Structure 1
């Protein structure tokens, strides 16, 4: 178990069709639950294109003095395999990695199951090497139900342990059927 001097945080970024017209998200009650029941401080932002994605990430990276305490970047985007979809455009994780170049040291990027995460070893390693991230995780299967049940367990374990192997082993020990059904994946 880690001995943390400050409570770590989670940054959630959700891709939506139109930021101005966006009125609510099924992810918000989950984030509220994380804050109230798990003690996981979080920030929620939306983006509807690459410009608003970059703007949100720039604010996080350059203006938030607590960025070093954000251990998890929780990304709720549509997409398949190695891409996310924003404003009907497909952006590869390699493009995203270049934006984050060297800025994600020690962070875990976790994708909700709205995006099917299917990376080959080379693409995953490229992302980790370029960004400095500790790990990238998500699900190999899209489910009609949002992945918040399993995400909750994963985030709680990330608060408890530093080692990603321990996190994944513990997650599979306690939630094996759900991990297998949703095809939980972690690249490190």
Structure 2
């Protein structure tokens, strides 16, 4: 009887994704979840996905991640797929400011990279970005200056950004490589990184 050799990796790569959807109890698979599943199969980048339809649900998901998930330290990327305008997010018909979101994450995102999909644009002043980083403890915040309901960042740029980040966590080099590989799309969606 031969023994099956299973390769053991030193670090597992985790993305924690929170997506706002119209109905969190729906069994319909979103395109973001499909992409995350494909990334797990093709690139061995593991993710946890949670659909939310209220601000309370979003807060509960964050608290579950922090207090009940023993792998929290392994999540380097917090991926937020939240609709909205400018520096507000829209959940269940209500707008919440980026400052309110920072307060939800207060002191809980130490060393994490928080990445917003292009369902909302991210256009922070230096003071706003510094406030968000200081309040949350995050290492960086990234997203796009152009939001689009018709052109999702998830298929190409988000996926490439995550992949490059897990190859090399030097954010400056990751952004340089991202622009090198997808310059036109980075320009079109106006990729941004605040750190």
Normalised-by-shorter TM-score class: over 0.9
Match of 1:72, SS? strand
Match of 1:172, SS? helix
Structure 2: 5+ residue stretches without partners:
1-8
Deviation at 1:135, TM superposition (A): 0.7
Tell me the alpha carbon deviations over residues 150-188 of structure 1, each in whole angstroms, 9 at most, x when there is no partner.
Answer: 111100111011221111111111211110011111111
Structure whose CA Rg is larger: 2
* Match runs of 1:119-134 below 5 Å: 119-134=124-139
Deviation at 1:22, TM superposition (A): 5.4
Tell me the alpha carbon deviations over residues 4-55 of structure 1, each in whole angstroms, 9 at most, x when there is no partner.
Answer: 9311200111101221245221112101111011110001101111110111
CA RMSD of aligned residues (A): 1.3
What residue in structure 1 maps to residue 3 of structure 2?
none
Question: CA–CA distance in 2 between the matches of 1:162 and 1:152?
Answer: 15
Q: What TM-score, normalized by structure 1, do the two folds share?
A: 0.94
Structure 1: 5+ residue stretches without partners:
none
Q: Does the 8 A contact of 1:16 with 1:22 survive in 2?
A: no
Q: What TM-score, normalized by structure 2, do the two folds share?
A: 0.91
What residue in structure 2 maps to residue 147 of structure 1?
153
Number of residues of Structure 1 aligned to a counterpart in Structure 2: 185
Question: CA–CA distance in 2 between the matches of 1:138 and 1:42?
Answer: 19
Q: Does the 8 A contact of 1:80 with 1:118 survive in 2?
A: no
Runs of 4+ in structure 1 off by over 4 angstroms are none
